[in-house]
Structure 1
Amino acid sequence: MITTHPIVQEFPEYLDKIKDLYHHNEEFQVLLGSYHSLDKEIFEIEKGEIPATDDELTHKRRDRVFLKDEIYNYLTSS
């Protein structure tokens, strides 16, 4: 099944912290926005709405994992 991967579903235990960081940390806002945009793009590629090669899709998925790791680091660092 093709689905999106929202951060709040990936890290539901950090929902309050995600909201707080989003409203008070500009760098986190950018990071979360980048993750959301990339996740949406991957979803559209997987649904066939946007053309992409397998290599491009693989690269985008790796970038999404990197962003997810960065977000997790924010959530666990303070």
Structure 2
Amino acid sequence: MFPEYRDLITQLKGHDVHFTRLFDKHNELDQVIKNKEAHIEPGSQAEIEQLKKEKLLLKDQIYGILRQASA
């Protein structure tokens, strides 16, 4: 996610608790979605779609923080 901001992500994860929480939650949701899509965990299509929306919202928030921090 956002390879152009790799160094900034590393820096923020070491110093910004809010950013770290968002980043970790995004990765957690990504894994849950993958598990549900692979039928490793139970989940309906509607539930998967809701999780994807949550993940996208987190990604938007992360991107906003990265753009602001890089300015």
What TM-score, normalized by structure 1, do the two folds share?
A: 0.85
Q: Percent identity?
A: 32
Question: What is the alpha-carbon distance in structure 2 between the residues aligned to residue 11 and residue 61 of structure 1?
Answer: 17
- 1:51 is paired with a residue whose SS is coil
1:56 is displaced (CA, Å) by: 0.4
Structure 2 alignment gaps of length 5 or more: none
Structure 1 alignment gaps of length 5 or more: 1-9
Provide the aligned C-alpha RMSD in A.
0.7
Question: What is the alpha-carbon distance in structure 2 between the residues aligned to residue 44 and residue 53 of structure 1?
Answer: 12
Question: What is the alpha-carbon distance in structure 1 between the residues aligned to residue 23 and residue 52 of structure 2?
Answer: 15
Task: Identify the match of residue 65 of structure 1 among 56, 67, 70.
Answer: 56
- 2:6 is paired with a residue whose SS is helix
Counterpart of 2:21 in structure 1: which amino acid?
V
Counterpart of 2:23 in structure 1: which amino acid?
L
- 1:13 is paired with a residue whose SS is helix
Moved >4 Å (runs of 4+): none
